[in-house]
Amino acid sequence: MTPADRVPPPPRGPWLALLALLMAGWEPFSFALVASSALDRLARYGLPALALLAFRVTVTGFGIAAGRALWTLRPHGRAMALAWLGLAAMASVITFGTPYLPSQRSPGEKTLALLLSLAFDAGWAAYLLASPRVRALFPRPG
């Protein structure tokens, strides 16, 4: 393929690019830090800790796929990102509500951290649903 054959990507806007980078880059990195310190809890809490860790791995993997779909402007990118935001919110509620994954937060700070995490997810979902640019890039099927 020659440089003249390459088609430049369509404009996606800085916020959509930021969300894609957060999903495909930051989320896996931050989860890796949590998971690496969670291994000792697997022996202590057993199957519930393993199930939560497996769920978080699944959510992180889905986030990577959704972030790539947004970045490459795949038709299903917005739907995948919205689904991931819902799964991420569910994972946050379960993670902050159980002792299975480690947290550096004191019990009083966990509620605030959970609320901030849910507000973050809700804010991005509102952006994906309300932005005219995003709606133009990802029209509804049919």
**Exposure string for 83-118, b = 16+ CB within 10 A, e = fewer:** ebbebbbebbeebbeeebbbeeeeeeeeeeebeebe
Q: In Å, what is the CA distance from 38 to each residue of 13, 92, 130?
A: 37, 15, 37
For the cut 60, the answer to whether the pLDDT of residue 7 exceeds it is no
Start-to-end Cα distance in the chain = 34
The pTM of the full predicted model, rounded to 2 decimals, is: 0.85
Task: State the pLDDT at residue 1.
Answer: 55
Token pair 């003249």 is found at 4
Give residue 13's pLDDT band: very low, low, confident or very high (50, 70, 90): confident
Q: In Å, what is the CA distance from 17 to each residue of 20, 21, 139?
A: 5, 6, 18
Q: What are phi and psi of 71, to 5 degrees?
A: -60, -40
Q: In Å, what is the CA distance from 128 to each residue of 44, 86, 98, 125, 142?
A: 40, 13, 30, 5, 19
Cβ proximity of 23 and 84 under 8 Å: yes
54-113 pLDDT, tens digit per residue, is 999 999 999 999 999 999 999 999 999 999 999 999 999 998 888 887 776 777 788 898
Q: Which of 30-39, 114-123, 131-140 has the highest mean pLDDT?
A: 114-123
Task: State the pLDDT at residue 4.
Answer: 54
17-26 pLDDT, tens digit per residue, is 999 999 999 9
Name the DSSP letter for residue 4: G
24-62 pLDDT, tens digit per residue, is 999 999 999 888 877 777 888 889 888 999 999 999 999
Tell which phi-psi region holds residue 10, choosing left (phi > 0), alpha (psi between -120 and 50) or beta: beta
